[in-house]
Chain A
Amino acid sequence: MRPFTKHTGLAAPLDLANVDTDMIIPKQFLKSIKRTGFGKNLFDELRYEDEGQPDQECTGRPIREDFVLNQARYQGASVLLARQNFGCGSSREHAPWALDDYGFRSVIAPSFADIFYNNCFKNGLLPIVLAPEEIDQLFAEVTAKEGAEVIVDLDAQTVTSPSGEVFEFLVDTFRKHCLLNGLDDIGLTLQQEDSIHRFEEKRMAAAPWLFLSRGQ
């Protein structure tokens, strides 16, 4: 996994609550068996006027001019400012894959849905929860000045607004450690192989019916 340490980037404000994963990446794109290539269809129904198809070339499709990512001033944005309950709905990891593939490195919102929040960490995408008033201020600053950048520092656990105001955020120690170092958490879990085997033996004795072969 690509590590995340400190990132400075253009912030795009998506002023919409309860953005669900169907909005982030609509279902027709879930037919892919790959992890990459979802960026061009990120927010497909919000970005384009027509219905997108998998493997379709997106240049030339009619775009929704008013959508934030279609505005010239937000081209190249790598930090997404969002509203409450971002990422609700389906567990599709295609949502963080699409955000990552588009070029986002961090999403900042007042709250996230659990599964989406979790999925972000597996992909080097940092979800940050800030207080609603801090989010409001970031929205105001980012919309007020074109080219406004924010600084996200995972090690210090801070977000610096365009005007220089610093907001602190919380993150689990283990997740932070994995993200800072780009660690593969399967490898880390497998270091506990003996503990897992010991647990499994105990469980097998207590509930042997859970360990029978299924057959075909």
Chain B
Amino acid sequence: MSGKTLYDKLWNSHLVQQRDDGSALIYIDLQLLHEVTSPQAFEGLRLAGRKPWRVSSSLATPDHNVPTTRKERIDGVDGIEDPVSKIQVTTLDDNCNEFGITEFNMKDIRQGIVHVVGPEQGATLPGMTVVCGDSHTSTHGAFGALAHGIGTSEVEHVLATQCLVQKKSRNMLVRVDGELSPWVSAKDVVLAIIGAIGTAGGTGYAIEFGGTGIQSLSMEGRMTVCNMAIEAGARVGLIAVDDTTIDYVKGRPYAPKGEHWDMAVKAWSDLVSDKDAQFDEVVVLKSEDIKPQVTWGTSPEMVIAIDEPIPRAEDQTDPVKKEGYARAWKYMGLEGKTTLAEVTLDRVFIGSCTNSRIEDLRIAADVVKGRKVASSLKQAIVVPGSGLVKAQAEKEGLHTIFEAAGLEWREPGCSMCLAMNADKLGAGEHCASTSNRNFEGRQGFGGRTHLVSPAMAAAAAIAGHFVDVNEFVKH
């Protein structure tokens, strides 16, 4: 019998009941909650007269819909100007109070994007099952945890039963071999992977990311990679546990302590795929082939290296692709252009659950230090992933570097990644964004998003258009 993959092990260790039709009842260790996908779930509980199964398994914080300006944040939830958003955030506060769920509210320094907060607090731990009503829950797979996004009905189901009805996915290994080039980051790696397998390439699979190119990444980098597994169609992204994982977790507020810590580290050492494990699909990329990436179209798979020409619809043979490319060219306003360096940028956004951690901010600050944002830009904003990331960045003086360069320094939240609050693109505006989706209208009605790494976004903010950050820093 062949060995087990990391995914197999995580699945088996959470299997409550296997059903004949292939579906199974899986136990959930941690549920993260936010204001947008939880109100209807809490309402469902109330209507059915049910209580949460185990409140200590939940952790909540508002992130999607909170404002990010100092002015609107100073009074916490009371300061939110949009009355509809205010009701939504208040509803989360009220529900957490009513059901006894721990919440980091808007006035708590620990508030932030759920996928930044969970790991930062040590709430996310290796070997766990983690769910959240947000597709980017795959982020937590960076810890060797089985983590995926769910819908609101399932949020309610987990609250009420501590379980989910699931069907096991197939196993895919994406291996990145070799050392990454300077200024090539985790974001470039995952964009290159999506470019290679497509946005539906991982549908039905749990993707384990491995190889030396992944192992050499920090936890922040690994979270960036797993975060975007969903953009390749895979609900689950995973990375094996190693010393980098354990060093990151140690000493965090909710991480196990003392005797529990020793017990946990011992258990976590098994959270790797066995040497003889069989994967249903294996994809291999060479690190040396990966250059800084930029998306040109309206799907994360529409991505190229900065030095490549924009692919044209007429060169596509597949009719669906041809039509998709033509539509994206039109939406993105690329007519007459051959490279992305020719696109004049209107805004730059550095933030989101993909790239708003301290390492991301350090890299961006390093690029803009002593430089000025292009005068052609309407706005460049930096939105830290949590109150604690913000505090750390300020301790290191990163905020003064950003502000001196002409970037705005904001309060933590999802912000312009999905543009539910006031941070958004105007119609036709091009944005260099460190977020995860470049769908039509994603960052604002008619807005044009180009996904990039923090280093590439920072360089683009200075130049006013896309440049190869590797060349840029030499001058």
Contacts and interface: CB of A to CB of B under 8 A. Distances in A.
Contacts of B217: none
A133 interface: no
Nearest to A17: B320
A24 to B, nearest CB: 11
A59 interface: no
B442 interface: yes
Q: Which of B37, B59, B135, B157 is the most central at the interface, judged by chain A CB atoms within 10 Å of its CB?
A: B135
B167 A199 contact: no
B160 A111 contact: no
Given A27-B420, A91-B134, A45 B154 contact: no
Contacts of A20: 437, 439
Given A33-B39, A189-B161, A91 B150 contact: yes
Contact of A35 (B40, B85, B134, B137): B40
B233 A18 contact: no
Interface stretch (B15-23, B183-191, B345-353): B15-23
Contacts of A185: 157, 165
A85 B27 contact: no
A203 B470 CA distance: 49
B5 to A, nearest CB: 18
B319 to A, nearest CB: 10
A92 to B, nearest CB: 7
Nearest to B27: A199
A146 interface: no
Interface in A171-192: 172-175, 184-186, 189-190, 192
B264 A207 contact: yes
Interface string A193-215: 00110011001001111111111
Interface stretch (A74-82, A98-106, A112-120, A154-162): A112-120
Interface string A52-75: 001100000000000000000000
B203 A31 contact: no
Interface residues of B, number: 83
B235 interface: yes
Contacts of A215: 102
Interface in A100-148: 111, 113-115, 118-119, 122-123
A28 B64 CA distance: 11
B311 interface: no
Contacts of B264: 207, 209
A14 interface: no
Contacts of A39: none
A30 interface: yes
Contacts of B200: 18, 84-85, 88, 111, 113
A166 to B, nearest CB: 24
Contacts of B29: 210
Nearest to A199: B16
B27 to A, nearest CB: 6
Contacts of B133: 91, 93
A54 B420 CA distance: 11
B428 interface: no
A23 B27 contact: no
B56 A214 contact: yes
A45 B441 contact: yes
A22 interface: yes
B211 interface: no
Interface string B297-338: 001000000000000000000001001100100000000000
A185 B442 CA distance: 32
B65 A22 contact: no
Given A115-B151, A174-B19, A210-B29, A196 B320 contact: no
B235 A172 contact: no
B445 A22 contact: no
B341 interface: no
A92 B263 CA distance: 38
A195 B16 contact: yes
A199 B137 CA distance: 24
B56 A212 contact: yes
B48 interface: yes
29 contacts: A17-B320, A22-B439, A26-B441, A27-B419, A30-B64, A31-B65, A33-B43, A45-B445, A84-B200, A85-B233, A89-B135, A89-B439, A91-B151, A92-B36, A92-B151, A115-B150, A118-B151, A119-B153, A122-B151, A196-B16, A196-B25, A196-B27, A196-B163, A207-B127, A208-B260, A209-B256, A210-B29, A214-B254, A216-B102
Given A31-B82, A119-B151, 10 more contacts: A22-B442, A27-B419, A28-B420, A93-B40, A118-B150, A192-B17, A195-B17, A207-B264, A208-B260, A213-B56
The 3 closest A-B pairs by CB, nearest first: A209-B256, A122-B153, A173-B21
